[in-house]
Amino acid sequence: MRRSLTIGAAFLLAGAGLAASAGQSAATPHRVGTATPADPCSTPWGSSVKSATGGNANPLTDIRVGRHTCFDRMVFDVSGASGPVGHHVGYVDAFHQDGSGDPIPVGGGAVIQIFVSAPSYDPVTMRQVYAGRAGKPLPGVDLTGFSTFKDTRFGASFEGQTQVGLGVRARLPFRVLQFDGKLIVDVAHKW
């Protein structure tokens, strides 16, 4: 009799385990050969240098930033630019002021150097249009609450181009876009 109770209890426990396991499988099905949903923030941008030539005699009038779900954005406004704005954007080991070569410290885990083919002054009157100062943070740019952007530094406006150092959290993928007199640099929050 004791043996029948032991066998009966074993069958009850085994049945309960199968029922629990069946319930778990129904709650979290696993299908072989099906893909998991893609990460909406994954990006093919890469971290290599992006550059383009473009003739521009118009000045840089503003630099602003914005936060997005998957990336942080920096926008360079080039007053009156009707065609492509030349640029050279890439990671550097150290940020040095264009012209003098003086080192400029930039906070963050990595630094993106951005050259925009637009001076911060009016080429005709030589009057300063964008108020950047060598080695100083970009005027009016507040990075509080940004996921990727950590620091900004104005490098120089030398021989018709403006140089900016952008400190980011890590060496992350980025892209460069152009739209209606604006040069846009987006840096992803992750790989």
CATH for 98? 2.60.40.3500
Domain membership of residue 81 (yes or no) is: yes
**Overall number of domains in the chain:** 2
Per-residue model confidence as pLDDT tens for the chain (191 residues): 444 444 444 434 444 443 333 333 334 343 444 445 678 898 999 999 999 998 667 999 999 999 999 999 999 999 888 788 999 999 999 999 999 999 999 999 999 999 999 999 998 899 999 999 999 999 999 999 999 999 999 999 998 999 999 999 999 999 999 998 899 999 999 98
Domain membership of residue 43 (yes or no) is: no
Task: Answer yes or no: are the C-beta atoms of 47 and 168 closer than 8 Å.
Answer: no
In this prediction the pTM is 0.79
- Considering the domain architecture, whether residues 88 and 167 belong to the same structural domain is answered as yes
Domain membership of residue 39 (yes or no) is: no
Domain of residue 178 covers: 50-188
- Considering the domain architecture, whether residues 136 and 167 belong to the same structural domain is answered as yes
Domain membership of residue 40 (yes or no) is: no
Paired tokens of 168: 């980011």
Domain membership of residue 141 (yes or no) is: yes
Give the end-to-end CA distance of the chain in Å, rounded to a whole number. 65
Do you know the residue count of the chain? 191
State CA 139 to chain mean position distance: 20
- 3-state secondary structure at position 19: helix
Domain membership of residue 17 (yes or no) is: yes
- Considering the domain architecture, whether residues 22 and 80 belong to the same structural domain is answered as no
Sheet holding 71-78, edge to edge: 60-67, 71-78, 182-188, 174-179
- Considering the domain architecture, whether residues 177 and 124 belong to the same structural domain is answered as yes
- Considering the domain architecture, whether residues 26 and 57 belong to the same structural domain is answered as no
Domain membership of residue 45 (yes or no) is: no
- Considering the domain architecture, whether residues 70 and 116 belong to the same structural domain is answered as yes
